[in-house]
Structures are given as structure tokens and as C-alpha cells.
Amino acid sequence: MALSASVALWFLPFVLPICFYVAFTDLREMRITNQAVLALAGVFLIVGLIALPLPVYGARLVQMVAVLLIGIVLNGAGAIGAGDAKFAAAAAPFIAPSDLRLLLAIFAANLLAAFVTHRLAKYTALRRIAPGWKSWDMGWKFPMGLSLGGTLAIYLGLGVAYGS
């Protein structure tokens, strides 16, 4: 894992509550709020200056812009939601570029687990815990914030445990 444990430890305490909030609001409202995206980007802008060397910090900002541009194109094509695209862009600078394959594996496993869990919970008594959530009644639409936030949290947690 290219992400160092010390960098992951700097980011994790600030990012984790945002990831939980994103997952919760996307389940409840089927939207990722701009405030959460701005908070995540703000964490990187502030904590990243402390945690990363300046050249790496600059390169990660370029990552954010690149992922945002890709997200705009995908959103325009109807492939992903605007909140998902913005969250992915705000999350991008937390990822070490050489960990992309690992991140995609985490995302794939997390997406599958989240989708199956959400669909199963939808038809069980667990649904009564949160009867007003929009995600229960959206047909094939899925609250991707659950997987996106979970993936970032898992990646940084693994970074703390197994980072270089």
C-alpha cells in the first residue's frame, strides 16, 4: 500500500464522520449534500498541507480536478449522479495514485456488499427502523454514497493499519 500510515492517520479522524454522514444522507434522501463535499475537500486542503509534502499535495489537487472533469462527463451521460461525481472528486486527493487498483478492488467489494445488504434490508424488519428513507422506494436506483463513503473510510483505515 503506497499510502503511508502516518498520512492515513492524519486524514482518518476528519474524514470518517463525513463518510458516515454521506452514507446516511444518501440512504435517507438519495442525495449527497454540497456541504459534505465541501467539508471533505476542506479537510484535504487544510490537513493535506500538514500531512503531505508540497509536490505530492499539488499532484493530489490535480487528481481532484481530473476526477471532477471525468465525473461531469459521466453525469452528463447519465451514468452517475451529480453528488456522486462531486464526492468522488473531493475524495480523489486522499488516494495515493499507485493504490488505484487496490481502491477499485475495495470499491467493487464494497459496492456489491452494500447493494446486497441494502436490497435485503429493504425486505426485512430492519426497514421499520428507518421507514422514511427514500432509498427504500427508488426501484433500481441505489444510494452510491453508501459505497463511496464506505470505500474511502475502508481505504484510509487500511492505510492506518497497513500503510507504508
Query: How does pLDDT run along the chain (164 residues), one tens digit per residue?
Result: 999 999 999 999 999 999 999 999 999 999 999 999 999 999 999 999 999 999 999 999 999 999 999 999 999 999 999 999 999 999 999 999 999 999 999 999 999 999 999 999 888 888 888 888 999 888 888 999 999 999 999 999 999 999 98
Residue 24 pLDDT: 96
Handedness of CA 79, 106, 124, 26 (dihedral sign): negative
Residue 60 pLDDT: 98
Residue 26 neighbours by CB under 8 Å, 6+ apart: 32, 83, 135, 143, 144, 145, 146, 149
Residue 126 pLDDT: 82
Question: What is the spatial distance between Cα 16 and Cα 110, in angstroms, rounded to a whole number?
Answer: 16
- Per-residue burial over 1-26, b if 16 or more Cβ lie within 10 Å, else e, is bebbeebbebbbebbeebbebbbbbb
Whole-angstrom Cα Rg for the chain: 16
Total-model pTM: 0.94
